A and B are shown apart, each in its own frame.
Chain A
Amino acid sequence: MTETPHRPLSPHLQVWRWHVTMAASILHRVSGVGLAVGMLLVVVWLACLKAGPEAYAGFAAVSGSWFGLIIWIGVSWAAFYHLASGIRHLIWDTGVGFSLGAANALSWASIGFSIGGTAVFWFLLMRAGVLS
């Protein structure tokens, strides 16, 4: 292996014309990092559950505050997006969906599903009266 330490490194975001597959790819990473935050919150949730009723009430209060709700809405969007976008990748892995039209459609579908899924998820929670 010849060493070429000064070769260009990918990706050079600024030289690309914006397109939806690029946005969907970036969002896949963004939502993945968002789910890292979500996993951290799950472990904090378990820690508070173990610590007792007082700690758990504190966790629930922060979760239900406007700040907590923004975080949880973000995490739920990340879950819906990463799920849909992940399926998009699994479809590509089978060797289909690589035409420009199909790739764009799959990417738009992932974005649409994540917005719709998050909206329905929180609508159902609010209708159940959980967030009053």
Chain B
Amino acid sequence: MTSPHVKTSEMTGAWIWIKERASALVLLPLMLWALVAGATLAGLDHAETLAWLAQPVNAMLVAVGILVGVYHLHLGLRAIIEDYLHGSTGKLVLMLNLLGCLALAGAGLAFVILIALAQAPAGA
């Protein structure tokens, strides 16, 4: 069914369209929250920022924001790459996009978890 001259979006476009919209709807309130969080965190020092992230709701929203945000980011960059890069260059950059996004989400999530574990009371 696949042809070398057909973009991914022409094969599974409807499903990608739904994934873009679904993640956008989740990100809409998260982005508003992120703007408020950014304004709250501006000017705070290390200890104050750790205390902010120690609140479970904040850590949870940061983690979900990174996961869904990077997912949406991957879809968006993929759409741009498919429009401008073709052939083997395009395939290579699409692969780099996927690997980069996986690394970004993995690192972000790992830091949130490591910070939470480091702050957990001993023996908990």
Contact residues of A with B, CB < 8 Å?
1, 3-5, 9-11, 29, 32-33, 35-36, 39-40, 42-43, 46-47, 49-50, 52-53, 56-57, 60, 63, 76, 79-80, 82-83, 86-87, 89-90, 93, 121, 124-125, 128, 130-131
Taking a contact as CB atoms under 8 Å apart, the answer to whether B28 and A83 are in contact is yes
Number of residues of chain B lying within 8 A (CB) of chain A: 40
Taking a contact as CB atoms under 8 Å apart, the answer to whether B39 and A124 are in contact is yes
* A124 to B: closest C-beta gap in Å: 7
Contact residues of B with A, CB < 8 Å?
3-6, 21, 24-25, 28, 31-32, 34-35, 38-39, 42-43, 45-47, 49-50, 53, 62, 66, 69-70, 73, 76-77, 80, 83, 86, 104, 107-108, 111-112, 114-115, 118
Report the 9 A-B pairs with minimum CB-CB distance, sorted nearest first: A46-B111, A56-B46, A130-B43, A53-B46, A43-B108, A1-B3, A32-B76, A130-B42, A50-B111
Q: How long is the Cα–Cα vector from A50 to B117 in the complex, in angstroms? A: 11
Residues of B within 8 A of A3 (CB): 3-5
